Amino acid sequence: MKTRLNTSSLLSVSLITLMLSACSKDNSDLYAFIEQTKSTSIGSVQPLPQFKPYESFTYTAGELRDPFVANVELEQQQNVVGGPSPNKQRPRQPLEAFPLDTLAMVGILEQQDNQWALIKDPQNVVHRVQLGNYMGRNEGRVVEITESNIRLIEIVPDGIGGYVEREAAIAIGNE
């Protein structure tokens, strides 16, 4: 049994020696490649950016009126009863489906005492309007027709729950 153990250990030692001798190969080509790579690629590091010093800001408009709080005069005006308001029961007219800036005056018609303005909508349909007709999305009532334009009075929200009247106009050739 001892001879067998000696033979087996001798065989193991010789095998390990053989394996270690195979690992001791010359690595000079690897070292040459590393040196060549180091010499050809020289890296550069960008310098750190210069930071501007922080400049503090002093808010000086603190004593002005807060734009998000309603003005006292406007609150008092809201309580006024009988101001302008849209008529919800009035039947809508065809030109009230379009914003005013999409409508164009293309001419006028006159016959005896009647005068009509010709308005072209965005779908290129021409409509006749006269005094008292409505157009635009803000209840724009026609109050004057001239050869150069149509004047309207619109009823628009005032931003605090009420309505105000505003003048608008559509000029001829306004396409």
In this prediction, residues 17-38 reach a mean pLDDT of: 76
Give ∠ CA 71-64-56 in degrees, rounded to 5: 145
Is the Cβ–Cβ distance between 122 and 136 less than 8 Å? no
Question: What are the tens digits of pLDDT across the range 88-142?
Answer: 888 999 999 999 989 999 998 988 888 999 999 999 999 999 999 999 989 899 9
As a whole number of angstroms, the distance between CA 105 and CA 175 comes to: 8
Q: What is the pLDDT of residue 4?
A: 60
Domains of the chain, by residue range, sit at 84-171
In terms of DSSP bridges, do strands 149-157 and 104-111 run parallel, antiparallel, or are they unpaired? unpaired
Statement: residue 175 has pLDDT above 70: no
For 84-171, CATH gives: 2.30.30.830
* CA dihedral sign, ordered 93, 95, 101, 105: negative
Q: What is the pLDDT of residues 28-85, one digit of tens each?
A: 888 888 888 887 877 778 888 999 999 898 888 888 888 887 765 644 444 455 678 8
Residue 60: how many CA atoms within 13 Å on its side-chain side?
Answer: 2
**Chain mean pLDDT for the chain:** 82
pLDDT at residue 163 tops 80: yes
pLDDT score at 79: 47
Phi, psi for 131 (deg, rounded to 5): -55, 135
The b/e string for 158-167 (b: 16+ C-beta within 10 A; e otherwise) is eeeeebeeee
